[in-house]
Chains A and B, each alone.
Chain A
């Protein structure tokens, strides 16, 4: 069932177009990540969904009810959509208990118990209830903000880069904890982030925004392995890009003949993820042979820079296991696992 439908959404601030014709569907109970570099319009999209601002064009439908149709919109406090802001946005003048209970009307039976249960839900200890926001760590503030949003029993929760202010280690923990809590509560979630790893690991559906436009949406796997264009490919991870000549399910490139989907012919641009490439010691000449220029040890993985012989292609950087890495000056063969992905012709060089 579709919980949220966004259709042709547009928003400008003066001369600057923040969002341009964005359409997206969010299924109930799923986790969606909206990812894009800063300035791509992802926070604007979130604010429009939450109802803090009205779009210039387009429609937002939530739970079968029209929320915005152009500038006419339902204000945030009547939408029942929860939000967890970047730094929690806890009310500094209220205790943790009062913060969590803020959205629960006074006089609700069991209010105290509900507050305590919400605190349990986000895995905080009961003594925490009396504390003030400034006495909490960043991660604890985020948990309280999540509990506060959950208190209204929303069908949709928006997460506005809630992990970006946290330390790396804590960030991963929080991400897992939040995913667990929301999964258990069966709440649909939209996460906005500029961190592609976070988006790929958190969500069932990832939507890539760039320059106010929705470039591509799909499962994390589909987006990572079959990005539509070069920018998306590079935004979601390291990539090796090669010009090639496609014919009948194969493409001839500097690494030899690589399998591709059979529907493309002629000059194309191939994308390979570095982990698809294996380096094998090889002293013969031929296609797909390169010379190792540099090896950078990085713990579990080594980064190997390779110059392909007999081509004028830029150097390739390939991540490989650091158990038996080649040495500088070695000649290696580049073997490819799986098939290569063909980028959209419009973007190909």
Chain B
């Protein structure tokens, strides 16, 4: 998957939701299921259909495995090539994730809990790299150092492109930690370092687990980044296979292994996170945390944020600026505008469809939460963690085998977008529907509105900002999406990312620059919004 922002919804979802939302959900916990089903049959049906569709990729892998038989599976899966890819993947995860954790925790600690000069500025700059798609990061680095190859280069660029996914939740948690806990640890005889390791770090566990999972999944699904620095992963291998012969059992089996890796990561995270509640215990309001004085370390501590900002923002911006200046006006043909419009049209259509598809489930999970509803909701969320390459593969095979007229049409492409970005659409909708409690609807009815009028005049009105947020999040994801678009787009249809990709594949780095600039420019406002939102979740 070639989008750096794809899972930002997840990173927010890994933060505990705001208190009010929890409270409203709790109030309506567990009505009797058959009753809930009977009262809203159409909404349940719609949600079930979407959930069923989101099971397509997994079902496809299971079905093909079944179809080709155990012998072929063994032949295709247990071979040196797969072993190689597996080793690469494990090494990539094992190097990138720990380094990202150390960098993110150190940076979050400095910006949130110390008197680091310009802490607010560094905090914004730590999140801003999310506005640069991962494959643009590697484009920038390969322009700067054309010799970058292999595992350590892959690790380096991965950390740079993805560490904000850890920084965001860790910083938000640090901001919200009750300082009384640190005082308590100090009064029990612990020095500053031991306070950090015994009282603060353990409380960051959920944030670190959530952020790491997000990064882990991105490493599995990223395609463009690794192609540029010639590092083979399952995603790159699948696309290679696909380009030589689509609907090949070899590609499908690789897809199966990739899905298994994803599920493994999700399971691992659930295991490490545990079922614990780390929220603040007790009533009363927390005192705002005091920042620790760094003393003589105040200036040396600046090295980390400065270096990170230079690596994550300085290099891409400088490279882009250099290509743009070098290219002059020649690299801005009318085609750029056409691609931009085409991308925006696709992005808005996909955003609207995904929001529409997510609406029934979002409504159900707020208004009538229960066991069946939770299972349906899990389907909505799991599909977003699948690599774009697997979703595309499943859709290609399905259309080629059963609905050939749909192959390489807008319809298939939009379905892929809906599946990939369903969780993003859910997050915004869920939050805003939760802000329109059913009591308000009832109040409107008691004041003489019909049920339909009440929904329209109260619930929809209150949910509107969430709908807009969902739409924008999905649209941004589509703008930066690479792999699925490459595999599914109708002939001649190009988005900013695929156009950028084909130009860089021809080593025309200069002509590719305007597309990268436009992707960054479109992503920037949303990234900043994300930062602001995580600050607000923390109540500041």
Contacts and interface: CB of A to CB of B under 8 A. Distances in A.
Given A86-B180, A132-B276, A165-B282, A91 B199 contact: yes
B87 to A, nearest CB: 35
Given A86-B284, A93-B203, A81 B187 contact: yes
A171 B84 CA distance: 65
A267 to B, nearest CB: 46
B273 to A, nearest CB: 12
Interface in A79-97: 79-83, 85-94
Contact of B189 (A80, A87, A132, A133): A80
Given A76-B183, A77-B189, A148-B184, A93 B282 contact: no
A260 B185 CA distance: 52
B189 A89 contact: no
A141 interface: yes
A51 B190 CA distance: 13
B277 A132 contact: yes
Contact of B281 (A47, A50, A88): A88
B188 A103 contact: yes
Contacts of A52: 183, 186
Interface in B484-532: none
Interface in A137-179: 138, 141, 145, 148-149, 151-152, 164-165
Nearest to B287: A43
Contacts of B283: 87, 138, 165
A180 interface: no
Q: By CB atoms of chain B within 10 A, which of A87, A93, A132, A152 has the most?
A: A93
Given A138-B283, A165-B283, A93 B188 contact: no
B184 A83 contact: yes
Given A93-B202, A165-B283, A83 B278 contact: no
Contacts of A235: none
Contact of A88 (B189, B277, B282): B282
Interface in A90-113: 90-94, 102-103
B181 A103 contact: no
Given A91-B199, A92-B203, A77 B186 contact: yes
Interface in B184-228: 184-191, 195, 198-199, 202-203, 205
B443 interface: no
A83 B284 CA distance: 17
A86 B280 CA distance: 13
A297 B228 CA distance: 85
B115 interface: no
Interface string B469-494: 00000000000000000000000000
Contact of B284 (A50, A75, A165): A165
Q: By CB atoms of chain A within 10 A, which of B181, B183, B199 has the most?
A: B183
Q: By CB atoms of chain B within 10 A, which of A51, A53, A92, A94 has the most?
A: A92
A164 B284 CA distance: 9
A87 B284 contact: yes
Given A87-B284, A148-B184, A77 B191 contact: yes
A102 B280 CA distance: 18
A50 B198 CA distance: 20
B189 A152 contact: yes
A221 interface: no
Contact of B180 (A87, A134, A138, A148): A87
B203 A89 contact: no
Interface in B257-300: 276-284, 290
A93 B281 contact: no
A76 B179 CA distance: 14
Interface string A11-50: 0000000000000000000000000000000000001001
Chain A contact surface mostly: loop
A51 B183 CA distance: 9
Nearest to B195: A77
A94 B190 CA distance: 16
Given A77-B186, A77-B191, A165-B284, A89 B277 contact: no
Contacts of A92: 181, 203, 276-281
Contacts of A141: 281-282
B205 A89 contact: no
A88 B203 CA distance: 16
A87 B186 contact: no
Given A88-B282, A93-B203, A93-B205, A76 B186 contact: yes
Q: By CB atoms of chain B within 10 A, which of A47, A76, A136 has the most?
A: A76
B474 to A, nearest CB: 35
B180 A85 contact: yes
Nearest to B183: A52
A93 B278 contact: yes
B207 to A, nearest CB: 12
Contacts of A164: 284
Contacts of B202: 91, 93-94
A77 B190 contact: yes
Nearest to B203: A93
Q: By CB atoms of chain A within 10 A, which of B186, B199, B279 has the most?
A: B186
A91 B195 CA distance: 12
A150 to B, nearest CB: 11
Given A85-B180, A89-B181, A91-B181, A77 B187 contact: yes
A133 to B, nearest CB: 4
A103 B186 contact: no
Contacts of B279: 92, 134
Given A89-B178, A91-B181, A92-B203, A149 B280 contact: no
Contacts of B205: 93
A87 B180 CA distance: 9
A91 B281 CA distance: 8
A148 B282 contact: no
A85 to B, nearest CB: 4
Given A93-B276, A165-B282, A165-B284, A85 B189 contact: no
A50 B180 CA distance: 12
Interface of B: 178, 180-181, 183-191, 195, 198-199, 202-203, 205, 276-284, 290
Given A93-B202, A138-B282, A148-B184, 14 more contacts: A52-B186, A77-B185, A77-B189, A82-B188, A83-B183, A85-B183, A87-B281, A87-B284, A89-B180, A89-B281, A89-B282, A91-B203, A134-B281, A165-B282
29 contacts: A47-B183, A50-B183, A50-B187, A51-B187, A75-B191, A76-B183, A76-B186, A76-B187, A77-B185, A79-B187, A82-B188, A83-B184, A85-B184, A87-B281, A87-B282, A87-B284, A88-B281, A90-B281, A91-B185, A92-B203, A92-B277, A92-B280, A92-B281, A93-B205, A133-B281, A134-B277, A134-B281, A136-B281, A138-B282
Q: Which 3 A-B pairs have the closest CB atoms?
A: A87-B282, A103-B188, A89-B180
Interface of A: 47, 50-53, 75-83, 85-94, 102-103, 132-134, 136, 138, 141, 145, 148-149, 151-152, 164-165
